[in-house]
Amino acid sequence: MSKTAEKLIRAEGAALVPRALPAPVFRDDKHHIRIYQGDCLDILAAMPPDCVDLIFADPPYFLSNNGITCHAGRMVSVNKGEWDRSRGADANHEFNRAWLAACQRVLKPNGTIWVSGTSHVIHSVGFAMQQLEFKLLNDISWVKPNPPPNLSCRYFTHATETIIWAAKNKKSRHKFNYALMKQTNGGKQMKSVWQIPPPEPWEKRFGKHPTQKPVALLERIILAASEAGDLVVDPFLGSGTTAVLALRTSRRVLGVDSTEEWAMLAVKRVCADLVQAILRVTIVQITLDLWSRSVDRSDRANGATMSGTVTGKLVSRECNFYFVGAIRRDVVFAVAAEDMTEAWQKFRASSATSTEILFVVKTQTEIYLAQ
């Protein structure tokens, strides 16, 4: 029996061995964010049953079999990594049924799951859902306005992905924010055909995941089928779009990815949103006058300006580090230091050393005397 088959049997009702969740690679207790690196089957098996409100899953499409595609006008390989390589139809379906069964176990009685895929995987996903007696709700056609051309010229251009929306079982009374979706759609019922562009360049500024989903897609899914405070799970987290949108919409989130590179990319994107949230409500006031009095420094007689290229002599340079607390989201310790190592040494020697730190923000100031 294969390792995947053993996990399938365990997920479908055989005796589960109690286990504790491993340490996440990132956690934020204030916003209820957990990101794990590992096998999603192991993480899901360690979670209690009936605890998740919504699952979004973008599983391997099994496309990495030495084919080609078009990217930015060039012919490129479709190989994304060993995790996306097909093991044959039977093994691929066995894998899909295993992780779907694990997801079904942790879903609340009225919870729902959304699964994205192309024709290479989505039919197996749909059949596995039927075998496991999910309640199929919708199949969404996600239309990409500018898909890459078909290089072989022997097929229609692949311009869509299918997203299956399903509830835990036939008895589920699933959540659907109908009024919000109608409002979003200009006062008309939203159809199951969604035209949403692929991720914009700014969405990939921290790194490019080969199957990254756009922010707009996850925003619509999360807002359509969950409420603020609900728990959202993504067993194939990838670049972390689900975690970012859960944070922005005030949902709790748990994400898993098997690859360290992608798990850390997700962490970077989540941390960037958290830092922006802190900086947006933090005002730093700096004055260059030692005394509060009016001083006119303009040279009106000569009409001098600071426009154009200005050379100057460096008169001061200062590097400061600001330690932001994990629970109390403000600066709990600030220090001038030459580098991060020295800053941490000074922090550990301070009275704030018992405070859990989430971020360290570095600022460097240089003052030049205009020549």
Mean pLDDT along residues 23-34: 92
Q: Look at residue 85 in the predicted model and tell me its pLDDT.
A: 67
* pLDDT per residue as tens digits for the range 307-356: 445 566 776 678 999 998 887 777 889 998 989 999 999 999 999 999 88
Mean pLDDT along residues 273-301: 50
Which residues belong to CATH 3.40.50.150 in the chain? 3-278
In this predicted structure, the answer to whether residue 73 has a pLDDT above a threshold of 90 is no
Q: Look at residue 84 in the predicted model and tell me its pLDDT.
A: 59
CA 216 to CA 160: how far, in whole Å?
16
Q: Look at residue 74 in the predicted model and tell me its pLDDT.
A: 57
Q: Which CATH superfamily is domain 3-278 in?
A: Vaccinia Virus protein VP39 (3.40.50.150)
Residue with the two structure tokens 């580090």: 321
CA 279 to CA 301: how far, in whole Å?
41
Q: Which of 30-39, 52-61, 105-114, 303-312 has the lowest mean pLDDT?
A: 303-312
Q: Look at residue 366 in the predicted model and tell me its pLDDT.
A: 78
Q: Could you tell me the two tokens for 107? A: 């879903």
Read off the DSSP letter of residue 201.
G
In this predicted structure, the answer to whether residue 254 has a pLDDT above a threshold of 50 is yes
Mean pLDDT along residues 187-207: 91
Q: What is the pLDDT of the chain when averaged over all its residues? A: 82
CA 99 to CA 164: how far, in whole Å?
15
Sheet holding 312-325, edge to edge: 331-336, 312-325, 357-370
Q: Which residues on neighbouring strands pair with residue 317, listed in sequence order?
A: 366
* pLDDT per residue as tens digits for the range 110-140: 999 999 999 889 999 999 999 999 999 999 9
In this predicted structure, the answer to whether residue 212 has a pLDDT above a threshold of 60 is yes
Q: Look at residue 311 in the predicted model and tell me its pLDDT.
A: 62
What's the predicted TM-score (pTM) here? 0.71
Residue of 263, 266, 233, 277 whose CA lies nearest to 251: 233
* Residue type (1 letter), 136: L
Mean pLDDT along residues 39-43: 95
CA distances from 54 to 6, 64, 99 (A): 26, 29, 15
Spatial contact of 185 and 134, defined as CB atoms under 8 Å apart:
no
Pairwise pLDDT comparison (302 vs 165), residue with the higher score? 165
Mean pLDDT along residues 3-7: 49
Mean pLDDT along residues 267-279: 77
